[in-house]
Structure 1
């Protein structure tokens, strides 16, 4: 039985990864700054809360990280921790840099210091590339990040590459483009759109206020991308991979599909507020995931249109269950 430690298990990716690893027979440890106080709502939603061993670990504290590694002795470590919102990173740049860059460095150094044969996965981001125009970014595309979040992720990427080359660690980074699911919190624009559309369809008179809806992104389905993380650590040699669908669509298209799914015209319910535009936003993001397809035999099963519909369907089912519980209680 393999043992895995997931740092950032309470988030969207951490919960889906925990479920995947449990299904594969792993013993799964989940790291959180305060495991006794955290709610781990996403683990509960996936009905795996009781199957994960939770440990308190602060990845910004080297001693805490090292103690955890020596205690758990994991075969694989997945670093999904850190401030995860691009928009919030403009308001909290120091917290973003420390939680992502310093946290990654502590994990790498603790693995090196422990001398344990640990395979390490680092959650990278397409935000590292910045605005590449219509060029489809691959693993050789230069980084030009346009947000504090992108800067922090770029620093973490190069730390992983440095430790891989200098100390021969099995350390890989997945450069993931946008990936969504029902586990996304509402501060992410995709979930904000889905939740609002469902409320309006149920009779709410609210109006949804958004920023720039003409941005274009490569949107995928989070459970697909989790499999790619695991596949990277099963390779004989560590490497970095762009993970994406290869299809780019505008946020406007996502909005249209969501509202059409609930039987509404989006133009009747949305207001654009220029004050919500980010200081430096990426106009378009294109990806070339051919390396992952060739070397990992991985490809996305769902594109943006399917992702939007899946998120709406899950939201409707969740609201139906809540209504039934209210009636029965």
Structure 2
């Protein structure tokens, strides 16, 4: 007898990570349902994919969706993902990252899939905040977030543990470090660098590039590796546990900039201009994670940094 196709529901279905996760799961034979608060974009005409519009603030809307679609797995990616925007939109950040998640979890608790669905909730390395410089950050590191976005995600992690302990929901928690990859929007360092390089190549801007702090170092993981980690966590992770998703090494912003400048197809040398608007209110010089816990489940990053940067540059060239 033919086995039924596994079904996954991805919240924030039109986002950067969700697009890559959808492709990953469809390639594994899944039927995928994405959720969005707005209309369906044209680029989402894929086999075994359906995009649903939902009111994230309406528990009954969630319950109806879960009972109708009956997903085996839920990947909760929806939320406000920009540290910079969280400083200007604190209330919106908490509504998107915390309150909407409460609505979703309450709906799962009251739905037909309560005891069936495996759930992944995504947090952020920004939850760790202030750490001892130069030390790899493990899941046991004390949370001391330095920005509203990090605070919202730290609260989300505590909320997750309560729903596992009190209601028996099958939730695993991913704490990814910096995402990069083709398709990421502006407002994130590699996309901002690559977009400016392409604009210089197309002579849409003079040969200079605006940058923030180039000395800071971060742990960058390709989004295609990250979504594979998410799938592994849903299959093999332990309910209520937190897992770092990272490479375990830090690279400087200067390194990223040098790569893009070296690969710029423009005859004139590029001038680098420091832009105070790109500086964060709180920053720290070096930040990287310990990925030993998720390594034990069989996940290791496969896409090198240079390949990621090259693919990002190609993506922006194709859009130009």
Indicate yes or no: 2:215 matched with 1:235: no
Residue of structure 1 in register with 2:294 after alignment: 292
Q: Quote how far apart the aligned CAs of 1:61 are.
A: 2.2
Indicate yes or no: 2:101 matched with 1:104: yes
Residue of structure 2 in register with 1:152 after alignment: 152
Please show how residues 8-157 of structure 1 align to structure 2 within 5 Å: 8-34=12-38, 37-39=39-41, 41=43, 43=44, 48=46, 51-116=48-113, 117-132=116-131, 133-157=133-157
Q: Quote how far apart the aligned CAs of 1:204 are.
A: 4.1
Q: Quote how far apart the aligned CAs of 1:236 are.
A: 6.7
Structure 1 243/112 Cα, relative in aligned 2: closer, same or farther at 3 Å? same
Q: Quote how far apart the aligned CAs of 1:265 are.
A: 10
Please show how residues 268-283 of structure 1 align to structure 2 within 5 Å: 268-283=270-285
Deviations 1:122-180 (A, max 9, x none): 11110101132222111111111111111111111111111112222110111001111
Question: Which 10-residue stretch deviates more, 22-31 or 254-263?
Answer: 254-263
Contact 1:8/1:81 (8 A) holds in 2: yes
Structure 1 216/16 Cα, relative in aligned 2: closer, same or farther at 3 Å? same
- Runs of 5+ unmatched residues, structure 2: none
Q: CA separation in 1, counterparts of 2:94 and 2:157?
A: 13
Deviations 1:217-245 (A, max 9, x none): 10111011101101111127323210001
Contact 1:249/1:304 (8 A) holds in 2: no
Deviations 1:163-198 (A, max 9, x none): 112222110111001111111112222101001112
Q: CA separation in 2, counterparts of 1:80 and 1:87?
A: 19
Task: Give the structure-1-normalised TM-score.
Answer: 0.88
Residue of structure 2 in register with 1:221 after alignment: 222
Aligned length: 311
Residue of structure 1 in register with 2:11 after alignment: 7
Structure 1 6/205 Cα, relative in aligned 2: closer, same or farther at 3 Å? closer
User: 2:9 aligns to what SS in structure 1?
Assistant: strand
Task: Give the structure-2-normalised TM-score.
Answer: 0.91
Q: Quote how far apart the aligned CAs of 1:30 are.
A: 0.7
Structure 1 69/205 Cα, relative in aligned 2: closer, same or farther at 3 Å? closer
Instruction: Give the CA RMSD over aligned residues.
Output: 2.0
Q: Quote how far apart the aligned CAs of 1:275 are.
A: 4.1
Q: Quote how far apart the aligned CAs of 1:270 are.
A: 2.1
Structure 1 85/293 Cα, relative in aligned 2: closer, same or farther at 3 Å? same
State which of 235, 240, 248 in structure 2 corresponds to 1:246.
248
Q: Quote how far apart the aligned CAs of 1:27 are.
A: 1.3
Question: Which 10-residue stretch deviates more, 74-83 or 263-272?
Answer: 263-272
Q: Quote how far apart the aligned CAs of 1:310 are.
A: 2.3
Deviations 1:30-58 (A, max 9, x none): 10113xx24264x46xxx3x541111112
Contact 2:183/2:312 (8 A) holds in 1: no
Contact 1:259/1:266 (8 A) holds in 2: no
Contact 1:124/1:153 (8 A) holds in 2: yes
- Runs of 5+ unmatched residues, structure 1: 323-329
Regions of 4+ moved over 6 Å: 264-267
Residue of structure 2 in register with 1:197 after alignment: 197
Q: Which has the higher helix share?
A: 1
Deviations 1:273-323 (A, max 9, x none): 2343221123321110011111x200111243332122123333x15xx6x
Question: Which 10-residue stretch deviates more, 209-218 or 257-266?
Answer: 257-266
Q: Quote how far apart the aligned CAs of 1:17 are.
A: 0.8
Q: CA separation in 2, counterparts of 1:38 and 1:258?
A: 33
